[in-house]
Structure 1
Amino acid sequence: MAAGPYDHIPRRRDIIDRKALMMAIETLLGDSPAGTEPPRPATLALFKDALASGRAEIRRRFLGGNGESPSDARGRNDGPAVLAATSFLMDQLLRVLFDLANEHVFPAANPSMGEQIALVATGGYGRAELAPQSDIDLLFLRPYKQTPRGEQIVEYMLYLLWDLGLKVGHATRSVEECIRQADKDVTIRTALLEVRYLWGEKTLFETLRRDFTQKFLTGDGRDFVEAKLAERDARHRRMGDSRYVVEPNVKEGKGGLRDLQTLYWIAKYLYRVDDVAGMVTKHVLTQSEARQFRRAEQFLVTVRCHIHYLTGRPDDRLPFDLQREIAQLLGYADRPGSRGVERFMKHYYLHAKTVGDLTRIFVAALEDTRRRKPRLRVLWETLRPKQLEGFRIDGQRLAVAGIDDFAKDPVRFLRLFHVAQENDIDIHPATLRLITQNIKLVDARLRDNPEANRLFMAMLTSRKDPETTLRRLNEAGVFGRFVPDFGRVVAQTQHDMYHTYTVDEHTIRAIGILSRIEAGTLKEDLPVSSEVVHKVLSREVLYLAVLLHDIAKGRGGDHSVIGAEVANQLCPRLGLDAAETETVAWLVRYHLAMSATAFQRDLQDPKTISDFAQLVQSPERLRLLLVLTVCDIRAVGPNVWNGWKAALLRELHFATEQVLSGGTLQGGRRSRVSWAQAETNKLLADWSEADKEAFAARANAAYWLSFEPAVLARHARMIHEAERTGAHLRIEHRVDAERSATEVTVYTVDTHGLFARLAGAMALSGATIVDAKIFTLSNGMALDTFWIHDLEGKAFDRPDRLARLRARIELALVNRLDIAVELQRQQPNYPTRDRVFTVEPRVLIDNNASNNHTVLEVNGRDRPGFLHVVTRALTSLNLQIASAHITTYGERAVDVFYVKDLFGLKVVNPRKLAEIETTVEDTIRAFDAKFHHPPALARSAAAR
């Protein structure tokens, strides 16, 4: 029976009984002479049954079930137990298979030494840590050259293993070949570092262990350490170089299991340890760090096992759909103001951060002590002063003078990072470890210390890369202890497709963006922000507002309101006066107001601008809010910021600035229309006065105020050409480079449901509408302008796509395109990741946002056809759509419509308003039910 790594597995024979399996095979053999292979189908069936029943028993223990024993209950959600039990199962199967091949199928009466063979586990299987769907790494070890009999044994075993559906990584080598290959390839050396004897000639295995130790484990290990560190860095870059990605890889990602294994490999290679306890004995880790190691490993391994069981494949990525399922399996239930899946992912990121802490402290210390010193580094150390503001220089890193420095003066927790920032120097890993061991000294007394707060503000507002310094503070645990409210959002996640990073990572990235705006490095992308940032009266106010804008996420309620309360409490402690504190609190309270107004309101409506100006009240607040908004959006994740959003924010900023500076929008409406018509006429110099007057008479004032004169002139020529040729449909497009969008203008006969048909045609063509302005001219023709993106948020500009769009619009307008049928037919081609999420439909009605229109805000799950479905419902309610403003936040669509009733008036009747709300929400729910089939639920049902 197995020993060592399997002693803790209860009732091992319930997983597999090796003797019983061997007896069943011997029964198949009967009285057959030696060298006879038992019937292959029957043999394969026996192995398949043993494998399937063993896996089922392991899974049953892991997931729990009815009538489970106390030992089974302990094994529930115990990932390491699954790894050990799966390894045990595979060991027994391989031993039976080896005995069958070696003693019965290819027997040797008196095998020579050259015919001996040993079966050896390598890699993760060698550690007896085999995940449910992982490959089996085997080494067939022979003494000299391969013999025909040895080849037959190996081939027989591999074919049967493959027939069992197992994925086998294998090599057949002699001891000498193993050592030679390990000398050339660090990957092979790492695999041989964890070899484990399975079966066969044990003296061969012992020779391999002895020769490997003598060859590789007697030197300083410098080359191995360097290779593993380079391998780790390359892997991190390949996986995104952040542990805070929304769908992390539990094994290969930063902060994942492979990082823990790298730490263990290096310790094993250098110190000859066999487990985490040995790392404590060798003073590689402290007892506390070893406990953190085990807890992180337990959590990550358990999550990985759930992924393997739910997917049925060796997938180590934790996608959105599995996050929710695994959270439920691990007992993370929803609570008021706290979703279970978000608490689960917070714990994941906290464990990943722990892994980062352990590997950074341990591996960086090895880097410091074992890597060769280049000549330039020696020269640098010679010229560099040995002391720096009370700290010592050790190599190229800043270190404390003694182990009791923090206890003597806790302010040094902050001063250390400040000195490192000002002198562009890293912090010694031993000092980082000392910080971790003394972190409880960052307490209320230190938080109330004026010098500590001064140093913190100096780091936050420094012109020397505050992002890196704050990230170091956060990684060391000092940030969250010194600002406890920030500590509450460390690893805080939002389970959606909009937010790419955890709240703390998003915040630190936003501060980095602010620093780059201020330094002028983003001037080309953000010209207005780069200009106004230098006009703000208080840099401290701006930096603190960016720091605190999401500080209250995850607490339930409105995080903006709660965050403003946090700002009122924290800012005086950090040295701000009453007026500055009030401004920070206001910015936190309204940090979403500018983006909501720019993206979800009609900026040509004077009331939109006047309402926003009344909220902002001062040019200083407008400048601060603009920069804060830009930093916030750009730090959400890649591809969130685009030229369209930039243009809308600029437009809102300049219009509001005009009002706050004493200008007017509403009062000059008539003069603005006259100016627009005059400027347009200048661009139509070749037209007769009669033609100009006829065009001016066809549109109302809202039309003239909605476009620049150049656009108005294009519209005029487009309409003139359509009338000259007698065309009932004309479509033109141009790429608006400034807004990174494609402007599509459709001139056609105005008909009931026109907007809905156009929206459907665009959805079927892969276009996303981001804005639309709808006008009916006095001649009964519609002039509708759309701004569209492709599915990646870029201008829709490929000629083939534009041709397909034009063709589908033409078909839709003559009712030869069944949009609903086509949307359903295309559904398999749509991205499936967003189907994980459920967004409850919601309609908000505002009759105060505009003087002339009722404003409808429609929320729902974004997918192709959503806008078509909504506008079709609005058409059925006899509503006229004047403009539409489309915003998406990951899986959530927020579409805002300015509408009037059939008589061209605002909708004020309560019963009609209630009907609008009910009809639109029910329509969206029906569409969700028809098109929303969460793949996770179907897969889970099949898996169980």
Structure 2
Amino acid sequence: MSVTTRSPSAERFLALRKAIVDDDTLGAAQRALTLSELADGWLARLFADVPAKVRRGFALVAVGGYGRQELLPGSDLDVLLLVNRRGDPGAVADALFYPIWDAGLALDHSVRTLDQALDMAGHDLKVALGLIDARHVAGDDALTEKLRSDARDGWRKQAGTRLPELEAMCRDRAASVGELAHLLEPDLVQAYGGLRDTLALRAVTASWIADRPRTGTVDVARQWLLTVRDALHRATGRRQDRLLFEDQDDVAVRLGLPGADAMLRRVAEAGRTIAYASDVTWRDVERTLAGRQRRGRRQQLVRRPLADGIDEYDGEAVLSRDVKPDRDAVLPLRSAAAAAQAGIVLSPQTLARLAAECPPLPEPWPASARDALVSLLGAGPGIVPVWDSLEAAGLVVRWFPEWERIRYKATRTPVHRHTVDRHLVETALVASRLTRRVARPDLLLLAALVHDLGKGVKGDHSEAGEQIAVKLGARLGLTDADCATLGRLVRHHLLLPETATRRDPDDPATLATVVDAVGTREFLDLLACLTEADATAAGPVAWSPLRARLVGDLVERTRRVLAGSAPPALARLTPEQAALAAAGELAVRVAPAPSPADGDGDGGGHGLAVVTVVAPARRGLLGTVAGVLALHRLDVRTAGAYTVGDTAVLVWRVVPRRGGGPDEVRLREDVGRALGGSLDLRERLAARAAEWRGRVIVHARPRVELLRSVSADATVLEVRAHDEPGLLHRVATAVSAAGVAIRAAVVETLGSEAIDVFYLVDDAGAPLSAAAEDAAVAAATAAVGGDDGDDVTPSP
């Protein structure tokens, strides 16, 4: 449709405008341009009707969306009347603005001199952003060009302070509105990854500080969101930027799509593209500005190791210089876990190399891959940006093909606030705060990630999800028993809230149904935490105080019925370990971890080795050997401490933090030196732990608890904390220093979660007195809580 630039009346203008809005043959971009040109022509004629003497020295400037020629059916006319001489601009303003108001159009206007406009831009971020897109409409075009030039120069000069302000504004908006890619009723403009963020990218580019990622996909994503917004305005007949449930089907029809779900998926994909580009761009801005400050202070960047093959450099996780990605299938997961634990993200270059060069994971996964996945899921808030980047690189679907069915899938219920895929990640985030309540935090985190995968297939999603979870667990290398547990968690993940809110709690049959379904205290604890994580991630409607109390009451009643369950038994020594114990002399042996064929579930994962230490039993032995292992940068995955007569046998499964396995000779020498008092472990490990705390974010509180009714001849103390270098050394040494003996210990690290269980006795070999119990709890609490013992939950 052609548009004349000669002056139509207001009625003629409105008639033409309505014809353009109603014209289904026009695409959204063409309609926006045509509406902008129509407005240009009308406003130019209104301006020309002002006597030449009166309008001399004025310029009419389009800003904002109108300045970009993106005038949608519900958009405001956003204009600036610019004045370059003394005098009253009232006559010009009245001649321009009153006809617009009389036509019933929304107008956002201002009247300023050039100096006033530039001064406002220097103090008001929104004004500065609007002037970046300033465009001449009528009047003194030299005045408009002067405004454009000076505004952009000012923006560039102030970029060092304005860009952090703009980033903070974007982050605040994301926190309050949410992410476009994962909202069920997304705001196309304000949500993170929406149109407002594309304007922020334009502003960054205009600053010359950094450029957005050089890809046309952002422009394509932006145009699609403009197209959807255009259809939304036309469908509702008003300016509306949020895709409400009741409007989604109508908008989808206007877009020629089969339904609302198809439209929302494309909106989500566009939002994900823009959000990822924004993340990368803001990190570039931060690094550039930080680099300027370092140059002023003559500081240099340094690499800090995070994990085997991955370093932290300039605020991102990057590949180590000597790493060979094509030889390490576990490297992407290990890198992601290390980045999430440190609260940083993988650099785009590193992510691209991991996706392109690393071989696929074997099936079943090695233990090291599974362990890295659990560490990633247990990282708390760090999981979200890392997981999003893994999705953008195609790695998540490569590991879990089932994920494709639920990517950006909407759940049309008032209970949920996110798409299914984001809900699963948010559930894992919440579950990471609950891991200290369960015996198997790894299964809790895995269940959180997969519990709604059944929503991608037909039928009851809990029943379908059980089969998916069992098969997925087998692929991950879980034992048959753990696969069954994972499947049961998925199958029953709605049992507790549905029973608590829809059944009579005083009916014996109600409790019997739950007891039969859960079977053991351990499973009940897992299911209760999964329920809380699932409901909390869904939203406040799903986990209201009332629902939380009802579920809690049901869990407590069920727990009382199951109170007689027996604890698991300790593992036994192998014949070789028993022979070393019989000899009674100091000995250190290193061997590869057994493979699954040998009857061990560890799977001989990445560098996994078994270290056996035999020594005369003495107080503090466990802590001393743990310290030596930490000094050798060996991460303990599991450990057992056993007493055979006067001899102690310590069996450790360890993974080297860097390449290369444990050195048996050096370990033997250092254990002997430490026991002899010539190797100072405390000071060296304290420095290493301090370095670790500087690069890892701990989000869950440590927990120290006495386990009652677990052993008849010992006091059992359980310590749950985020794993760190020297943790076991510190705890075991502190407990021994409290005047009690560690008769046996069962130590395990699941992901980043350290679970240390100590069987404590007094000098006579009997369970501890109440006073000795208090001393042991206090010592362990101080050890896991740092110097001041904060953020610890002792449970007597």
TM range (shorter): 0.5 to 0.7
Amino acid at match of 2:201: L
Q: Please tell me whether the aligned partners of residues 380 and 430 of structure 2 are also in contact (alpha carbons under 8 angstroms).
A: no
3-state DSSP of counterpart to 2:386 = helix
Q: 1:469 aligns with which of 344, 362, 383?
A: 383
Q: 1:154 aligns with which of 74, 87, 93?
A: 93
Which position in structure 1 is the counterpart of 2:125? 186
How many Å separate the matches in 2 of 1:658 and 1:185? Answer: 62
Q: Please tell me whether the aligned partners of residues 428 and 445 of structure 2 are also in contact (alpha carbons under 8 angstroms).
A: yes
Which position in structure 2 is the counterpart of 1:548? 450
Q: 1:388 to 1:144 in 2, by over 3 A?
A: farther
Amino acid at match of 1:285: P
- Report the Cα offset of residue 347 of structure 1: 2.8
Which position in structure 2 is the counterpart of 1:397? 316
Which position in structure 2 is the counterpart of 1:265? 203
- Report the Cα offset of residue 403 of structure 1: 12
How many Å separate the matches in 2 of 1:269 and 1:658? Answer: 64
Q: 1:415 aligns with which of 334, 354, 359?
A: 334
Which position in structure 2 is the counterpart of 1:347? 266
3-state DSSP of counterpart to 1:603 = coil
- CA deviations 1:304-340 (Å, max 9, x no partner) are 122322333322222221123223333343xxxxxx3
Which position in structure 2 is the counterpart of 1:503? 420
How many Å separate the matches in 1 of 2:446 and 2:268? Answer: 25
- CA deviations 1:496-542 (Å, max 9, x no partner) are 211112222222222222222234xxxxxxxxxx4xx2xx3x33333
3-state DSSP of counterpart to 2:409 = coil
Which position in structure 2 is the counterpart of 1:574? 476
Structural mapping, 1:821-900, within 5 Å: none
Amino acid at match of 2:420: V
Q: 1:329 aligns with which of 254, 264, 273?
A: 254
Q: Please tell me whether the aligned partners of residues 442 and 482 of structure 1 are also in contact (alpha carbons under 8 angstroms).
A: no
3-state DSSP of counterpart to 2:317 = strand
Q: 2:485 aligns with which of 576, 579, 583?
A: 583
Which position in structure 2 is the counterpart of 1:876? none
Q: Please tell me whether the aligned partners of residues 465 and 487 of structure 2 are also in contact (alpha carbons under 8 angstroms).
A: yes
Q: 1:83 aligns with which of 27, 32, 40?
A: 32
How many Å separate the matches in 2 of 1:125 and 1:446? Answer: 55
Amino acid at match of 2:424: T
Which position in structure 1 is the counterpart of 2:282? 363
- CA deviations 1:580-603 (Å, max 9, x no partner) are 111111221222223222221222
Structural mapping, 1:715-754, within 5 Å: none
Q: 1:630 to 1:192 in 2, by over 3 A?
A: closer
Structural mapping, 1:436-475, within 5 Å: 436=352, 439=355, 444-445=360-361, 450=366, 453-460=369-376, 462=378, 465-469=379-383, 471-475=385-389
Q: Please tell me whether the aligned partners of residues 259 and 359 of structure 1 are also in contact (alpha carbons under 8 angstroms).
A: yes
How many Å separate the matches in 2 of 1:226 and 1:302? Answer: 30
- CA deviations 1:16-46 (Å, max 9, x no partner) are 3233x45xxxxxxxxxxxxxxxxxxxxxxx3
- CA deviations 1:585-631 (Å, max 9, x no partner) are 12212222232222212222222333333333444333332222222
- CA deviations 1:825-852 (Å, max 9, x no partner) are xxxxxxxxxxxxxxxxxxxxxxxxxxxx
- Report the Cα offset of residue 367 of structure 1: 1.4
Amino acid at match of 1:47: A
How many Å separate the matches in 2 of 1:386 and 1:593? Answer: 44
Which position in structure 1 is the counterpart of 2:776? none
Q: 1:197 to 1:410 in 2, by over 3 A?
A: farther
Q: 1:635 to 1:181 in 2, by over 3 A?
A: closer
Q: 1:410 to 1:224 in 2, by over 3 A?
A: farther
How many Å separate the matches in 2 of 1:386 and 1:592? Answer: 42
Normalized against structure 1, the TM-score is what?
Answer: 0.55
Amino acid at match of 2:464: I
Q: Which structure would you say has the larger RCO, counting Cα contacts within 8 Å and 6 or more residues apart?
A: 2
Q: 1:419 to 1:214 in 2, by over 3 A?
A: closer
Normalized against structure 2, the TM-score is what?
Answer: 0.64
Q: 1:638 to 1:80 in 2, by over 3 A?
A: farther
Q: Please tell me whether the aligned partners of residues 444 and 530 of structure 2 are also in contact (alpha carbons under 8 angstroms).
A: yes
Q: 1:494 aligns with which of 411, 420, 444?
A: 411
Which position in structure 2 is the counterpart of 1:427? 345
How many Å separate the matches in 2 of 1:56 and 1:448? Answer: 62
Q: How many aligned residue pairs are there?
A: 562
- Report the Cα offset of residue 196 of structure 1: 0.9
Structural mapping, 1:125-164, within 5 Å: 125-146=66-87, 148=88, 150-164=89-103
Q: 1:299 to 1:383 in 2, by over 3 A?
A: closer
- Report the Cα offset of residue 233 of structure 1: 2.2
Q: Please tell me whether the aligned partners of residues 180 and 186 of structure 2 are also in contact (alpha carbons under 8 angstroms).
A: no
How many Å separate the matches in 2 of 1:408 and 1:57? Answer: 63
- Report the Cα offset of residue 254 of structure 1: 1.5
Which position in structure 2 is the counterpart of 1:47? 10
Q: Please tell me whether the aligned partners of residues 4 and 38 of structure 2 are also in contact (alpha carbons under 8 angstroms).
A: no
Higher radius of gyration, 1 or 2: 1
Q: Please tell me whether the aligned partners of residues 443 and 481 of structure 1 are also in contact (alpha carbons under 8 angstroms).
A: no
Amino acid at match of 2:22: R
3-state DSSP of counterpart to 1:499 = coil
- Report the Cα offset of residue 214 of structure 1: 4.7
Q: 1:433 to 1:303 in 2, by over 3 A?
A: farther
- Report the Cα offset of residue 126 of structure 1: 1.0
Aligned pair 1:558/2:426, yes or no? Answer: no
How many Å separate the matches in 1 of 2:512 and 2:304? Answer: 60
When the two chains are superposed, the root-mean-square deviation of aligned CA atoms in Å is: 3.3
Which position in structure 2 is the counterpart of 1:812? none
Q: 1:115 to 1:59 in 2, by over 3 A?
A: closer
- Report the Cα offset of residue 137 of structure 1: 1.6
Which position in structure 2 is the counterpart of 1:197? 136
- Report the Cα offset of residue 293 of structure 1: 0.8
5+ long unaligned stretches in structure 2 = 566-796
- CA deviations 1:338-392 (Å, max 9, x no partner) are xx32333233223222211010012211211124776899799778747864334
How many Å separate the matches in 1 of 2:294 and 2:334? Answer: 31
Q: 1:476 to 1:205 in 2, by over 3 A?
A: same
Which position in structure 2 is the counterpart of 1:872? none
5+ long unaligned stretches in structure 1 = 1-10, 23-45, 65-71, 272-281, 334-339, 520-529, 664-944
3-state DSSP of counterpart to 2:138 = strand
Q: 1:256 aligns with which of 169, 173, 194?
A: 194
- Report the Cα offset of residue 553 of structure 1: 1.0
3-state DSSP of counterpart to 1:81 = helix
How many Å separate the matches in 1 of 2:322 and 2:145? Answer: 44
